[in-house]
Chains A and B, each alone.
Chain A
Amino acid sequence: MNASSKHDRRSLFHSICDENRLRLSRIARFYGRSDADDLLQDILLQLWCSLPKFQHQCSTGTWCFRVAINTAITWQRARRTKVTTINIEMPATLATNTASDTHQQQMLERFLDSLPEIDRATLIMHLENFSHAEIAETMGVGQGAIRTRLCRIRKRLKQWEQD
Chain B
Amino acid sequence: MDEFEKLKTTWQLIEPLPDERFRQLRDRVETAQTQIRHAIVRRDLAETIAAGFVVVFFSFPLLYSDRTWSRLGSLVIIASAIEIPLILWIARRPPNRTEPNDTLLNQLDQEIILLTRQAKLLRNIFWWYFFPLSLGMLLFSIGLLENHRPHDHGGSALINWGVFSVMLVIILAISIFGWKLNRDGASQTFDTRVRYYDNLRTALRSSDEDSLSTLQDQVPFLESPKVTISRRRKMIGWSLALGVMISFTAFGYFTMVHFNQRCGRWIMISAPVTGALVIAFSRAWRKTNDGRANTP
CB of B17 within 8 A of CB of A48, answer no
The distance from the CB of A90 to the nearest CB of chain B, in whole angstroms, is 8
Instruction: Tell me if B295 is interfacial: C-beta within 8 Å of chain A.
Output: no
The 3 closest A-B pairs by CB, nearest first: A25-B16, A127-B11, A44-B29
CB of B17 within 8 A of CB of A10, answer no
Which of A70, A78, A108, A126 makes the CB contact (< 8 A) with B101? A70
Residue of B nearest to A153 (CB): B4
The distance from the CB of B241 to the nearest CB of chain A, in whole angstroms, is 33
Instruction: Tell me if B111 is interfacial: C-beta within 8 Å of chain A.
Output: yes
Chain A residues near B104 (CB, 8 Å)? 42, 45-46, 70-71, 74-75
Asked, given contacts A13-B30, A25-B22, A48-B30, whether A127 binds B16 with beta carbons under 8 Å apart, the answer is: no
Chain A residues near B3 (CB, 8 Å)? 154, 157-158
CB of B204 within 8 A of CB of A78, answer yes
Q: List 8 A-B contacts (CB under 8 A).
A: A6-B38, A45-B104, A50-B101, A54-B100, A71-B104, A78-B212, A105-B13, A127-B8
CB of A28 within 8 A of CB of B209, answer no
Chain B residues near A108 (CB, 8 Å)? 7, 10-11
Which of A53, A80, A158 makes the CB contact (< 8 A) with B207? A80
Instruction: Tell me if B175 is interfacial: C-beta within 8 Å of chain A.
Output: no
Chain A residues near B100 (CB, 8 Å)? 50, 53-55
Asked, given contacts A105-B10, A158-B3, whether A74 binds B16 with beta carbons under 8 Å apart, the answer is: no
Residue of B nearest to A111 (CB): B7
The distance from the CB of A115 to the nearest CB of chain B, in whole angstroms, is 12
CB of A37 within 8 A of CB of B21, answer yes
Chain B residues near A28 (CB, 8 Å)? 17
Most buried by B among A14, A46, A49, A107: A49
Residue of A nearest to B22 (CB): A21
Q: Which chain B residues numbered 50 to 100 have a C-beta less than 8 Å away from chain A?
A: 98-100
Asked, given contacts A48-B30, A78-B203, whether A53 binds B14 with beta carbons under 8 Å apart, the answer is: no
Instruction: Tell me if B103 is interfacial: C-beta within 8 Å of chain A.
Output: yes
Most buried by B among A26, A41, A54, A90: A41
Most buried by A among B10, B102, B209: B10
Which of A29, A45, A124, A154 makes the CB contact (< 8 A) with B29? A45
CB of B33 within 8 A of CB of A48, answer yes
